[in-house]
Each structure stands twice: as C-alpha cells, then as structure tokens.
C-alpha cells in the first residue's frame, strides 16, 4: 500500500509529554525493524528525557500513527558538524518515502542552523539509500568503510556536505 507523503507530520519527541508514550513509540518502531530492538535501551538511557543530548529528535506520523524517527546530535569535535545517531522507519512503511522525507526535514533544520556537514554510520546494505538520497537532493557525499560493528557487520560512514 502506498503512502500519501503529503500527509506526513513531524513532531518533536519533547512534545509528547509522557515518557512512557515516548518509549512506546520508539519500542514499537524498533521492534518492527530486524535487529533494532537492542537499540531501544540505549535511546531510552541516552536521549529520552535528555533534550541536551540531541539537536533533533523527530517523529514522522500519519493520522497520529508514528512511522519513523530520527535522532541527530552535535558532533563533539566541530561546531558545524552533526551526527545522525539513529534513523528508523517501521518495517511496514519502508521504501515508501517516509525515511527520505524525515531525513530531508532534519537536514533542512540543520542547514538553517549553519551546520555544514552531517555524518552517520550504516551497514553497507543501507549505504545505497543514502547515496541515492544525496543524488536526488544534489548533496555532495563521501562514503567509506570505517570498521565493523560489535556484531561483526561492516560499518560504513556517510558524510553529507552542504
């Protein structure tokens, strides 16, 4: 089933007042994405209820249903660089434009705040999504292998430059 991307709304996580509701949204999305359930604890501990730990924490919704989220934090070594800690789309809504719209929304906010570069780490099988996104939005990017995750999967780093 197709999604009318014009009906997607973006909401700051901090606008959801109940910590249990915030956690419930992240848990629901992460549990639908293969291998992501383990990240829920890290997000709960480091980001939920701690607005100083991120620049952007947005939820993408349609008709009140949370479909995706993105968390962006400052890069520690440079004022004009940010790092996408997490971007996840509910598995039933992947490949429908939700992730691209959420990423574009976040990058537009970062550009308004004079961020020049945005980095993220990803598995090689998701690098193509980011490379296509950059091509579609005329963004310069670099991609390089930077090591492996704790589970042994390769880790790539993508850097977007505005």
Which pLDDT value is given to residue 105?
A: 97
CA distances to 41, 52, 64, 75, 139 from 8, rounded to whole Å, are: 27, 26, 9, 28, 23
Burial of 160 (0-12, 13-18, 19+ CB in 10 A): buried
Which pLDDT value is given to residue 53?
A: 94
Mean pLDDT of 68-88: 95
Burial of 94 (0-12, 13-18, 19+ CB in 10 A): middle
Six-digit token string for 128: 């193509």
Summarised one tens digit per residue, pLDDT across range 100-154 is 999 999 999 999 999 999 999 999 989 999 999 999 999 999 999 999 988 888 9
Q: What's this model's pTM, rounded to 2 decimal places?
A: 0.94
């Amino acid at each position: 089933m197709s999604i009318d991307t014009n009906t997607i709304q973006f909401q700051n996580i901090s606008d959801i007042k109940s910590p249990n509701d915030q956690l419930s949204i992240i848990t629901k999305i992460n549990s639908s994405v293969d291998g992501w359930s383990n990240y829920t604890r890290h997000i709960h501990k480091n980001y939920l209820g701690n607005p100083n730990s991120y620049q952007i924490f947005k939820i993408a919704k349609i008709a009140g249903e949370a479909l995706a989220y993105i968390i962006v934090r400052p890069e520690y070594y440079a004022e004009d660089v940010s790092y996408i800690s997490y971007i996840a789309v509910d598995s039933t809504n992947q490949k429908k434009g939700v992730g691209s719209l959420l990423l574009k929304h976040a990058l537009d906010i970062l550009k308004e705040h004079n961020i020049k570069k945005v980095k993220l780490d990803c598995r090689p099988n998701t690098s193509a999504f980011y490379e296509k996104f950059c091509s579609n939005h005329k963004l310069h990017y670099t991609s390089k292998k930077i090591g492996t995750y704790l589970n042994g999967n390769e880790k790539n780093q993508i850097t977007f430059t505005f």
